[in-house]
Amino acid sequence: MKFLYDDESFSFEALRAAGYAVHGGADLGEVLVTCRQIPEGDEEAWSAQWAATAARIERIGRDALAGGHRVSAREALLRASNYYRTADFYRRENPAADAESARLARASRQTFADAAALLDTPARALRIPYEDTTLPGYLFLADDSGTPRPTVLFHGGYDSTLEEDYFALAAGALRRGYNVIAFDGPGQGSTVREQGLHFRPDWEAVVTPVVDFALAVPEVDAERLVLIGMSLGGYLAARAAAFEHRLVACVLYDGVYDFHEVVAASADRAASTPGGMEALMAQNTMVRWVVRNGRWTLGASGIDELVKAAEAYTMAGVADRITCPTLVLEAENDQFFKGQPQRLLAELTCEKELISFREDEGAGEHCHEGAMLLFHQRTFDWLDTLLAR
């Protein structure tokens, strides 16, 4: 689905930012006026213009808060958080040494934290024990009654952040009476930037401590614990569910069978491009971003090391270990994992279902960006039905 840009990556990321408007993460006019100042493929302009919009909206939020306007402050700060995240998206050439990237990431986290405290039921910031450190998270509650409720454990994927998790899933879950524990695992958000943690393929080592933590939270119904993973999280959550059997259900948003194939395809494409990978990266925004982000989040020094590191990220020989009912989602036009949800579904031996999202219903993009309400309707209707049994 083309949205504002011919550049496939710019189009997708603009749609992603705009799509969160349904849960307060954007206002369409703000997205349009920001994008019209950004030329095709100009990553510097992308960062600068989104950062300027974010700062302007943050000022609205700060002024509203100072004036005692709680709702106005919350709304503006939520939008600012999403815009700061968007401003930082392409700053991946050397993010560890990029002061502006660090500033934008901090601003996204802080504006969200300030907004989360202003929710009708304020979110609780978490530090979840993990090995010799902790993982950042939020506990979002449907209300303040203290009643144990079905609870979703939710994490993102290759590039998502804890703060984005609210717009992508938590807001829709809360409306339906679910509590949510959202968290960043190794390689995600502040864990890679501030703790030096990189992705690991054995994601059960991440989810099991989160399950342990969740079971000690009074508002969590221990018999109705659901795991949902977004984007590359569709592999990560599937891998975790294969070994962590205290889950009542798993949702793969979307299904991922083999991450290595995606990375290797870029390497193969570079091999047939005059000038190799550097030339391909100069020509293609999507490939450039995938490689740069992978080097950072997987701790790889170059494309060969990145391809090698990705080999372990496969559900081959593992999928049949999942025992809980599993919902696999797929997007018709998925530019990263097209065809992989069906391959994963074929190897599942648990109770399973596939839901396909089509282009002609406005939901065919990766992770159904631009169709959050439809995605939530189908996903939570499936969960509601399952949990009612």
Question: How does pLDDT run across 127-180, given as a tens digit for each residue?
Answer: 999 999 999 999 999 999 999 999 999 999 999 999 999 999 999 999 999 999
* Angle ∠(23,26,32) on CA atoms, nearest 5: 145
If you average pLDDT over residues 237-254, what whole number do you get? 98
371 token code pair:
């169709």
Judge whether 356 counts as a catalytic residue: no
Q: What is the pLDDT of residues 338-368, one digit of tens each?
A: 999 999 999 999 999 999 999 999 999 999 9
- Pairing of the two strands 149-155 and 220-230: parallel
Give CB contacts under 8 A, 24+ apart, made by 68-75: 70/118, 71/118, 73/114, 73/115, 73/118, 74/24, 74/115, 74/118, 74/119, 75/24
If you average pLDDT over residues 228-234, what whole number do you get? 98
For residue 50, what are the CA distances in angstroms to 1, 81, 82, 260, 313?
22, 11, 10, 32, 33
Query: What one-character-per-residue DSSP string does 165-219 give?
Result: HIIIIIHHHHHTT-EEEEE--TTSTHHHHHS-----S-THHHHHHHHHHHTT-TT
Give CB contacts under 8 A, 24+ apart, made by 39-48: 40/5, 40/6, 40/7, 40/10, 41/7, 41/10, 41/285, 43/90, 43/91, 43/285, 46/10, 46/87, 46/89, 46/90, 47/87, 47/88, 47/90, 47/91, 47/100, 47/104, 48/87
If you average pLDDT over residues 281-286, what whole number do you get? 92
The pTM of this model reads 0.97
Decide: 20 and 26 in contact? Cβ < 8 Å. yes
The tokens 């609870």 sit on which residue? 151
Q: Count CB atoms within 10 A of the CB of residue 132.
A: 5
**Residue 270: band (very low, low, confident or very high) from pLDDT cuts 50, 70, 90:** confident
264 token code pair:
């290797």
Q: What is the pLDDT of residues 3-19, one digit of tens each?
A: 999 999 999 999 999 99
If you average pLDDT over residues 118-135, what whole number do you get? 98
**Residue 321: band (very low, low, confident or very high) from pLDDT cuts 50, 70, 90:** very high
**Residue 72: band (very low, low, confident or very high) from pLDDT cuts 50, 70, 90:** very high
pLDDT value at 57 more than 90: yes
Structural Rg of the chain based on CA atoms: 20
For residue 43, what are the CA distances in angstroms to 10, 11, 37, 116, 378?
9, 13, 12, 30, 35
If you average pLDDT over residues 68-94, what whole number do you get? 98
For residue 82, what are the CA distances in angstroms to 117, 153, 297, 385?
16, 21, 20, 32
Q: Which residue has the higher pLDDT, 352 or 278?
A: 352
The percentage of the chain sitting over the pLDDT mark of 90, rounded to a whole number, equals 94
Spatial separation of the C-alpha atoms in residues 157 and 365, rounded to whole Å: 16
pLDDT at position 250: 98
Helix (H, G, I), strand (E, B), or coil: what is residue 335? Answer: coil
Helix (H, G, I), strand (E, B), or coil: what is residue 226? Answer: strand
325 token code pair:
């009912």
Which of 231, 179, 210, 211 is closest to 375 using CA atoms?
Answer: 231
pLDDT at position 302: 87
pLDDT value at 271 more than 90: no
365 token code pair:
């993009």
When the pLDDT of each residue in the chain is averaged and rounded to a whole number, the result is 97
Q: Which of 9, 47, 101, 231 is catalytic?
A: 231
Q: Which residue has the higher pLDDT, 302 or 314?
A: 314
pLDDT at position 11: 97
Q: What is the pLDDT of residues 21-38, one digit of tens each?
A: 999 999 999 999 999 999
